[in-house]
Amino acid sequence: MKFLWPQALWLLLAAPALVGAYLLLLRRKKKTALRYASLGLIKAALGPGQRIRRHVPPALFLLALVAAVLALARPTAVLTLPSEQRTIILAIDVSLSMRASDVEPSRLQAAQEAAKAFVLEQPADVRIGIVSFAGTASVVQAPTRNREDLVAAVDRLQLQRHTAIGSGIIVALAALFPDAGIDLESLLFGGRPGRDGDRPIAGDGARRPEPKPFAPVPAGSHPSAAIILLTDGRRTMGPDPVDAARMAAERGVRVYTVGFGTVAGGMADVGGWSIYMRFDEETLKAVADVTKAEYFHAGSAADLRKVYQQLNTQFVLERKETEVGAIAAAVASLLVLAAAALSVLWFNRSA
């Protein structure tokens, strides 16, 4: 246990002083009583039980003061609690290779069903966004707590040509940090130098916004944001996925990768032609490793559901340092009430 205001603990030195003052007061009362009655009559009147009881309310009051001082020092403890603010971006591959049927009924349909189940299982405080990627990437649903909108966004996914896994990661990062000034056009498509200086100009001639100051943080250190990448891992164009993963790592964001398909790959119908779709597992392992996350292999629809259940468990609880001064304050209040109640019950007085 730690204290945010440890200086307040010096007030605990008042406890021995109060005990001494209480003993001194008892001695003075005893001398006063002896002037008017014999010692035998006092002992007989009090009895052994009464002599102990008379010290209970003051003792409880002293403990209440100690608890109040601890609350004032603002104690903290590492607790396992639901995270208060969490945002998860599901980046889903919609390239033509996702039509392969080595995961029944197809890789895409299995991913959609598992994604919807994952969305519905998350606690109400979790914000979820949907990014789809093929030849490029786009935000299908901005981060929201509305589960109906998320399920509808997953159902709207349509297959497209090419696979740009790196683009999916970068757009997911931009969705997590919309105010960070991430230059998507430059990162995804490149840019050309402008006449206004070194700052690049977008393809339509519009000046891009100034990038905001950025300081890298340790990989995996972001406590409340994550990306879950669903793909067969076979990049055909766009930024390198590992380079994009390094961008996420510099922002502390973990990228959990879910690769679905079988090691042998599968056939997909593309324009009336049956084309063999290879499953690239090494890329997904590298992305997860760079960001201090995990890779999950889903070889079937049932395996994919198990993967999402594991991810759901990871995001439900989080160990964090939490201030627990309110508990000490509550204990102090209860002790004061108990001391007052016993004093009234036993001695017909509140002090």
Distances (CA, A) of 325 to 67, 81, 91, 190: 9, 16, 40, 52
Specify the pLDDT at position 183. 82
Please check whether residue 88 is in contact with residue 126, taking contact to mean a CB–CB distance below 8 angstroms: yes
Mean pLDDT lowest for which of 66-75, 182-191, 229-238?
Answer: 182-191
SS3 (DSSP) at 92: strand
Distance between CA atoms of 226 and 134, rounded to whole angstroms? 21
Q: What angle do CA 319, 321, 322 make, to 5 degrees?
A: 110
Query: What residue spans in the chain does CATH classification 3.40.50.410 cover?
Result: 85-185+211-299
Specify the pLDDT at position 34. 52
pLDDT at 78 over 50: yes
| One-letter identity of residue 1 | M
Distance between CA atoms of 303 and 230, rounded to whole angstroms? 13
CA neighbours closer than 13 Å in the CB half-sphere of residue 298: 31
At residue 191 the predicted structure's pLDDT band, cuts being 50, 70 and 90, is: very low
Distances (CA, A) of 80 to 195, 318, 319, 320: 54, 5, 4, 6
pLDDT at 328 over 50: yes
pTM above 0.85, yes or no: no
pLDDT in tens, 194-253: 333 333 333 444 445 566 677 889 998 887 888 999 887 778 888 999 999 999 999 999
b/e burial code for range 333-343 (CB count within 10 A of at least 16 → b): eebbebbbeeb
Share of the chain above pLDDT 70, in %: 72
Distance between CA atoms of 211 and 208, rounded to whole angstroms? 9
CATH code at 85-185+211-299: 3.40.50.410
